[in-house]
Copies of this chain bind each other. A is one copy, B any other.
Amino acid sequence: MFTDSTSNEIGIVMTEAWEAFHIYRKMSLQRRADFMKTIAFEIEACGDLLIQTAMEETNLPEVRLKNERARTMFQLNQYATFCEEGSWLNACIDTAVDDKNPPKPDIRKMLVPIGPVVVFGASNFPFAYSTAGGDTACALAAGCSVIVKAHPAHPKTSTIVANAIYKAVEKCNMPKGIFAHVFGQSFEVGKNLVMHPKTKAVGFTGSYIGGKQLFDWANQRKEPIPVFAEMGSVNPIFLLQEKLKKDTSSLAQNIAASITLGIGQFCTNPGLIIGIESEELNLFVHDLGKLIQQTNPAAMLHSGIVKSYKNKKSESLLQEGVHLVAESEKEVKENEGLPSAATTTGAIFLNNPLLHQEIFGPFSLVVRCKDLNEMLEVAMHLEGQLTATIMATENDFLQSNNLVEAIKNICGRFILNGVPTGVEVCTSMQHGGPFPASTDSRFTAVGIDGIKRFARPMSFQNWPNNLLPDELKNENSQKIWRTVNGQLTKDVIFSN
């Protein structure tokens, strides 16, 4: 039903995307925003069919999918509002100084769109990080055309959403090539998309293997292009001693709930819990195990994910010194993930890199360190993470300065006494982190700043006011924040 796009077809799609880009980038911010809001409207108009289809393709429950659809529409509307407001363009103006030697010319800078963006959808977020998800919304807000490769695990869902976007394209009188939807089971399609000379950036959410491959292709191009790949994370939680003693059982409850939320299929799922050998840790592990035993298994996204979960979990449990703590005792079906927890020592963890890898699903490994020093060693040897969490009293925190500093080196979001799951869509959210959490820690995949992945600054030197882009004109008719001669202001510039 869904045949892979050929290299010829991709050539046509990219040519159309390139042509549309030139029309779209000159449209007003308001037209971009209207387009994005119309997409949100058209997605809602798909109604139950969209939810039903996604349920069939992803095994995700109805409530979750309805919430995710709402979030997707919220994202589109929020990026639209922000796009229209215009301050994100980072407009800077330095006016001419004629009596300087040599004379200082008038220079004005703002973000401009980078060009056609290829987006690879995520299997675990069929709406919010797929066809009309965060990457698409960011690229459209930035002024780019978008080519989405449908995730092979939910091609029907993706098609329904793509059709909603096509409707919005028509309604808003957008150039045809502004959005394209292509299919590909094989690596070849992804490669053709990334390697095409008219592709100027890539957004990806998924596995390390997939993201790293796209990154490598992009860097092997004659003209390398930026890739923002969000490749998951084990999201370590560090349990400090006083806090653990004080709140043993509520910590076990909150963490067990976070591990098994959505059957462990969130990129911020906590896959690693690091504590210090003690009675409290024993009690915590015991409580955690009990809770895991009582948690129901649930169907995972697709057969490949279940298989991978089972294999990686088994592989982990076969490592020397790794012991199962508990598995869910409920009945489990072939397509379901079984909530599980295991444990090992700090020494074993430090010496076995396999144990550092993400096991996508409802699994977490408790690492028992012999002391705070060994816990510090673990923190220093962890790879880049989307999030890291400390559970600590103020006293714990103040006594663990080196640990806090080590954790700062490895994460994009640093949580104190909370759980990593639940990614708030807001300006202050950083979703991205040092490699391998993402391929460029200087950007985020969630929140308003995500737009900046797909834009670049351009200076306009010595342009007369009437020829400048509206956002850089003296009159500042949209009243955006601009840095004028070093001062942030919404003021008009009075020319001499």
Chain B's nearest CB lies how many Å from the CB of A10? 20
User: A73-102 interface mask toward B, CB cutoff 8 Å, 1 = contact, 0 = none?
Assistant: 000000000000001001011100000001
User: A397-410 interface mask toward B, CB cutoff 8 Å, 1 = contact, 0 = none?
Assistant: 10000000100110
| Cα distance, A313 to B182, chains bound together (Å) | 47
A434 touches which of B223, B416, B453, B466 (Cβ 8 Å): B223
Check if B428 sits within 8 Å of A456, measured CB to CB.
no
Interface residues of A in 426-485 (CB under 8 A from B): 426-430, 432, 434-436, 439-442, 444, 449, 452-453, 455-464, 466-467, 481, 483
Check if A458 sits within 8 Å of B428, measured CB to CB.
no
Known: A408-B458, A467-B394. A427 touches B216 (CB 8 A): no
A105 touches which of B224, B418, B436, B483 (Cβ 8 Å): B418
> Could you jot down 24 A-B contacts, CB within 8 Å?
A93-B428, A105-B418, A105-B424, A107-B428, A109-B427, A109-B428, A109-B430, A114-B442, A223-B384, A394-B466, A413-B459, A413-B461, A414-B463, A415-B461, A415-B462, A416-B462, A416-B467, A417-B462, A428-B459, A432-B457, A442-B453, A442-B455, A442-B457, A481-B488
A467 contacts which chain B residues (CB < 8 A)? Answer: 394, 397, 416
A457 touches which of B226, B449, B466 (Cβ 8 Å): B449
Given contacts A223-B436, A411-B458, A430-B458, list 14 more A-B pairs with CB under 8 A. A90-B449, A94-B424, A94-B426, A112-B408, A114-B441, A223-B383, A397-B467, A408-B458, A412-B456, A413-B460, A414-B458, A414-B463, A427-B486, A429-B459
Known: A216-B219, A416-B462. A429 touches B114 (CB 8 A): no
Residue of B nearest to A85 (CB): B486
Interface centre among A112, A427, A435 (most CB of B within 10 A): A427
Chain B's nearest CB lies how many Å from the CB of A431? 8
A266 contacts which chain B residues (CB < 8 A)? Answer: none
Cβ of A154 < 8 Å from any Cβ of B? Answer: no
Chain B's nearest CB lies how many Å from the CB of A455? 7
A428 touches which of B87, B94, B226, B449 (Cβ 8 Å): B94
Chain B's nearest CB lies how many Å from the CB of A51? 21
A104 contacts which chain B residues (CB < 8 A)? Answer: 424, 426
Chain B's nearest CB lies how many Å from the CB of A432? 8
| Cα distance, A458 to B412, chains bound together (Å) | 5
Cβ of A422 < 8 Å from any Cβ of B? Answer: yes
Chain B's nearest CB lies how many Å from the CB of A369? 21
A397 contacts which chain B residues (CB < 8 A)? Answer: 467
Cβ of A108 < 8 Å from any Cβ of B? Answer: yes
Chain B's nearest CB lies how many Å from the CB of A212? 9
Check if B442 sits within 8 Å of A223, measured CB to CB.
no
Known: A224-B435, A397-B467. A102 touches B416 (CB 8 A): no
Cβ of A71 < 8 Å from any Cβ of B? Answer: no
Cβ of A323 < 8 Å from any Cβ of B? Answer: no
Cβ of A179 < 8 Å from any Cβ of B? Answer: no
Interface residues of A in 3-41 (CB under 8 A from B): 22, 26
Check if A459 sits within 8 Å of B412, measured CB to CB.
yes
Interface residues of A in 204-238 (CB under 8 A from B): 215-216, 219, 223-226
A461 touches which of B414, B432, B434, B457 (Cβ 8 Å): B414
Cβ of A115 < 8 Å from any Cβ of B? Answer: yes
Interface centre among A412, A434, A458, A459 (most CB of B within 10 A): A459
